[in-house]
Each structure stands twice: as C-alpha cells, then as structure tokens.
Amino acid sequence: MTGGETFPQLLKSVRACTLCDGLPLGPKPIVQLNPKARILINSQAPGRIAHEKDIAFLDPSGVRLRRWMGLSEDEFYNSGRIAILPTGFCFPGTGAGGDLPPRPICAPTWHERVMAQMPDIKLTLVIGTYAINARYAGQTKMTLTQRVKSGAGRTGDLFPMPHPSPRNNRWLKANPWFEGEVIPLLQTRIRALME
C-alpha cells in the first residue's frame, strides 16, 4: 500500500483519469491490473479497437502477441497472471503513419504508484518503440532492432520486443531471428511463470 491507498482505490483512480482530456475520442484509460500478476506487458497505448471494445489487444496485434507468448485468450486476460500497463493509457488518435505517440503524462503520473502495489512481477515485456524509449530513457540510444537484440539472453526481468502490429510485418520479415530464436525463449519463460 502506498500512502494509505488500497489497490482497488488506485485502480478506480486510474480508470477515472482525465489527464488526456481533449483526445479525439476522449480519455478512456485501458489497463489490466492485479497485485498478483507475475507478467507485465508494458505496451505503447491502446489502439482504436481497444478504445471501442474497452479491452487491450483484442485486435490483430493481440492475436500475434498471444501467439508470441504461447497463450490462449483466456490465459492472456487472466489478470491474476498477466498485467497490461501501457505507456499511455488512452487511445492517442491517428496520424499519417498510424496511431499517434502515447501522451507523455501517463507513465510519470501512474506507473510508480501502480508498480509499488504489484510486487510479484517477474517479467516485463516492453513492447514497441515508444514503450522501449520510455523504459530505457537515460540509457544508451539504440534502434529498435539493437534494443531487441541486446536482450537476446533474456535472463533479466525486461524483455524488449517489437510491436506485434501487422504494420511491422516488414521488420519481422527482415529479422527472422526474432520469431525463430527469441520467441521460443519468451514462451519458455512465460510458461514457467503461468504455473
């Protein structure tokens, strides 16, 4: 407990957050949190489909992410095992090249408070360039490919990954080592934490 705040109170505050008022579809924080979770997905921001359905990764990106993780939909949405804490909690809108970057206010406002009440996290998947840049801020600058390769041993608690969006098909085709070598390591670690 942080400053007398219970987890249910914190979750209620997160879901009621309006810091991103003024977004094209309005503020609608989308998270999946439980103090018993062991695996954290630190993604970028919910997409339009997540905003409409009020569920993260219930879209083609989520299908690929669940395949990468080796999880069924039921396992993925088991908040007692899997937490989803994006860099930005609300759909940021769409630009010329896809979704806009997550708003920079969410992570500094909420992440420390949330993580203080989630002591059982053993593995954090840091998904996509925006989440990677936020998580590794202050460290040596690397491209997405360099950062993902740098975690190739996968023994620490951070697991940097490309975004599973179909927009990244070209990156995946150019980097077959990711699905051929890295994904089996990821699935082994996840399976051990799901038991």
Residue with tokens 């997409």: 47
Q: Which domains does the chain have, with CATH numbers?
A: 7-194 (3.40.470.10)
User: E strand or H helix at 64, and its extent?
Assistant: helix 60-69
pLDDT on residue 2: 47
- Rounded (to 5) percent helix, strand, coil in the chain: 40, 10, 45
150-178 pLDDT per residue, tens: 876 566 799 999 999 999 999 999 999 99
The mean pLDDT values, 10 residues at a time, for the chain of 195 residues are 80 95 92 97 95 95 98 98 97 88 93 96 95 90 91 77 95 97 94 94
DSSP three-state, residue 44:
coil
| Dist CA 129 CA 134 (whole Å) | 8
Report yes or no: 44 and 131 within 8 Å, Cβ to Cβ. Answer: yes
Closest Cα to residue 1, out of 113, 106, 109, 84? 113
Please state the φ and ψ torsions of residue 160, each to the nearest 5 degrees. -70, 140
pTM: 0.93
pLDDT on residue 152: 60
Report yes or no: 91 and 44 within 8 Å, Cβ to Cβ. Answer: no
